Structure 1
């Protein structure tokens, strides 16, 4: 029966992980030397001993990898392997949810025109004219994003297209709307 040796590692600090990794590296070296001395294998018993030592070496190597992972995390403050840290997230990942009650009130379409010469009606006319120049997909993306305040990911899921396609449609739609509004202002 094998005896199990338990080592008290102390607190989980960077120093304790570095010391543990050093100890494991020494143990892995000892196992590698023992494996090298056993070769060439001549009997079945030697083969079983060699396989047991190799199994132990693999376990120690896995522990070394785990310690290295934790050490990198403690040294950098980031999860190892991540391509982006929290400070380098994409725009949609940086969005901060907000309570709708704190947003400014927006008048709906049925509201009365303002007393300043029907500005709401004129603005709505220009916008409808600008939207006429869009394709059906561009119009859908534009109205869902600007009118309904859906994110690109939500729009992509609703329309069954990729998020990058939504972005492309939005860029095209925005450009066309800006051009069409300028034309309506000049003509009107």
Structure 2
């Protein structure tokens, strides 16, 4: 049975990781020297001993790599290898999913400005006129993007099309809607 020795390294601070890496580097150098002294190999037992020492040395080198990774993270304040800091994230990384049930309710002043029946009917007519001429796919993409506020990737997943196709449909739909809005004239009686 192999005995495992535990060493208390103290709190996980930058200084403790630096000290641990220094001790691991010394141990890796010591193993390298021991391997070099055992050369040249003459017997199978010597070869097994060298292979065991080399295995230990590779394990220690992996531990040194892990310590270096953590040290860089602690020194820079961000994950090593990331090119962007927290302040320069992409749009999808900045989005925060929110439950609509947790959003604030409509305030009193907004309720006072709700449209009357005639205004609602006129708005519905304007919307129908603006969306006239859109294909079913364009209408679906436009409604999901502007009405439901889904991202192009989410729309693509829902409609089983590619993200670039959603972009194409959105460009076409936006162009048609802008043309339709420019040509809408409502007569109020």
Instruction: Tell me how far apart the structure 1 counterparts of residues 4 and 150 of structure 2 sit (CA, whole Å).
Output: 59
Q: Who is 2:7 aligned against?
A: 7
SS at match of 2:9: coil
CA, structure 1 residues 21+139, in 2 after alignment: closer, same or farther (shift >3 Å)? Answer: same
Query: Which consecutive residues of structure 2, in runs of 5 or more, have no partner in the other structure?
Result: none
Query: Which consecutive residues of structure 1, in runs of 5 or more, have no partner in the other structure?
Result: none
Name the stretch that deviates more: 175-184 or 86-95: 86-95
1:67 aligns with 2:71: no
Query: How far apart are residue 103 of structure 1 and its match?
Result: 5.1
Q: Who is 1:172 aligned against?
A: 172
TM-score (norm 1): 0.78
| Number of residue-to-residue matches in the alignment | 181
Query: How far apart are residue 21 of structure 1 and its match?
Result: 0.6
Instruction: Tell me how far apart the structure 2 counterparts of residues 103 and 162 of structure 1 sit (CA, whole Å).
Output: 36
Matches within 5 A, 1:1-188: 6-96=6-96, 97=98, 99-100=100-101, 101-102=103-104, 104=106, 114=116, 118-185=118-185
SS at match of 1:63: helix
CA, structure 1 residues 161+87, in 2 after alignment: closer, same or farther (shift >3 Å)? Answer: farther
* 4+ residue segments displaced more than 6 Å: none
Supply the RMSD in Å over aligned alpha carbons: 3.1
CA, structure 1 residues 37+171, in 2 after alignment: closer, same or farther (shift >3 Å)? Answer: farther
